[in-house]
Structure 1
Amino acid sequence: MDPIQATIAKNLTKFRKNRNLSLTQLSELTGVSKAMLAQIENSKSSPTVTTLWKIANGLQVSFSSFIQEEEPDIRKISINELEPIADNEGNYLVYPFFPYHPEKKFEIYIVTLKPGCTHESKTHLGDEYLLVKEGKLLVTVGMQEHKVQSGDALQFSGSTPHSYTNSSKETASFFLLMYYPEPQ
């Protein structure tokens, strides 16, 4: 069986079942015979482009959604596999563990600040959720200063000017979840 055929079969079945549609109902929506739909779902037939377009239009999904492979249920990422994004001459390192995905509306990083480093962050949409992994930081949000250390957390709007300072003699690191809500 062709791998793309299996992917189409799995996605078609998922779309149909998520909408609680029988094959007969799906046939009525799409104009594709019940027998053909059953063959596609069972990976016994590979649909033509025209047939796939009919199904996509009937279900009101994108054509490409049929060939997208599902993300694995479990993803393991090691910091050693990531290339950090550096700023402040390498004293501020951002490791992108889970980059932004429009369906999930968040991204997760680990950030490290070397001793003596201050990073002035650009304002941005959304909220920041900071959880200190190790060390001590001074987080300035607007005119307020917040001393945080290992085990502490802080939440604030990214649209407020903010900075991170490590005035200690040890490297500080923190988890940073950035959440982007729906536009109002």
Structure 2
Amino acid sequence: MAQSPLSKPPAGDPPYVGATLQALRQAQELSLDDLSRKAGVSKSMLSQIERNQANPTVAVVWRLANALGVGVAELLTGQRAAAPALVTVPAHATPSLKSPDGKCELRILGPIELAGQFEWYELTVQPGGRLESEAHEPGSREHLTVLGGTLEVRAGNDSSRLKHGETARYAVDMPHAIANPGKTVASALLIVLHTA
């Protein structure tokens, strides 16, 4: 006799993930075909899992969780893991980007899930270094606070030279650049606010 989607497995049996899988799939408005393509799991297998007629292997659970953007534990239990109150990112785990000439480095301080909305960076510019950027979305702005040295900011036809402690707020829906005209390394905090 088939188990109902909401029934619990007998003690000692693997968990039924059918109801959770179906709820997550429907919440994301995915058809069985969509999820099949996204996860690399056959449509017939997905249908059997959702009806609790088959229990997926660990590899299949992992593929489904990744395709749905949830943790494996959430797929197995139906409960989202509580986010920790505090997360510490070690210095060596902070990703960074360098300009083609190697004279500018951006350490990415913001979480990846906010990329494209709100980003913040620690910027280091060697003497003579220049960080050129193309226009961002209409209405986007940057906020640059110099922590050490001197930086020159250009947005469109406007430019300003900043020294320690000064902040520039400027439109970035046009070509813009940050340069170090000084003889010492400059550092700054750079915030990018994208429009919705």
TM-score for the superposition, normalised by structure 1: 0.62
Q: Is the alpha carbon distance of 1:64 and 1:81 closer, same or farther for their aligned partners in structure 2, counting shifts above 3 Å?
A: closer
Q: Which amino acid aligns with 1:49?
A: V
SS in 1 for 2:113: coil
Q: Give the % identical residues.
A: 20
Which residue of the partner structure matches residue 112 of structure 1?
Answer: 124
Which residue of the partner structure matches residue 3 of structure 1?
Answer: none
Partners of 1:100 and 1:106 within 8 A in 2: no
Which residue of the partner structure matches residue 102 of structure 2?
Answer: 90
Residue 157 (structure 2) aligned to one of 137, 143, 146: 143
Unaligned stretches of 5+ residues in structure 1: 1-30, 40-44
Which residue of the partner structure matches residue 176 of structure 1?
Answer: 190
Q: Is the alpha carbon distance of 1:154 and 1:75 closer, same or farther for their aligned partners in structure 2, counting shifts above 3 Å?
A: farther
CA-to-aligned-CA distance 1:1-52 (integer Å, 9 cap, x gap): xxxxxxxxxxxxxxxxxxxxxxxxxxxxxx976xx6xx8xxxxx97523211
Residue 128 (structure 1) aligned to one of 108, 119, 142: 142
Matched, 1:49 2:61: no
Q: Which amino acid aligns with 2:188?
A: F
CA-to-aligned-CA distance 1:138-177 (integer Å, 9 cap, x gap): 1011111111122122222221211112111111111112
Q: Is the alpha carbon distance of 1:76 and 1:53 closer, same or farther for their aligned partners in structure 2, counting shifts above 3 Å?
A: closer
CA-to-aligned-CA distance 1:43-97 (integer Å, 9 cap, x gap): xx97523211354478x36854444655533233344443532114211111112
Q: Which amino acid aligns with 2:179?
A: T
Question: Which stretch of the first structure deviates more once superposed, 73-82 or 160-169?
Answer: 73-82
Which residue of the partner structure matches residue 152 of structure 1?
Answer: 166
Q: C-alpha separation between the residues in 2 aligned to 1:103 and 1:82?
A: 14
Aligned CA RMSD, in angstroms, stands at 3.3
Q: What count of residue pairs does the alignment treat as equivalent?
A: 144
- How far residue 114 of structure 1 moved from its aligned partner, in angstroms, is 0.5
Unaligned stretches of 5+ residues in structure 2: 30-67
Q: Which amino acid aligns with 1:95?
A: R
Q: Which amino acid aligns with 2:21?
A: W
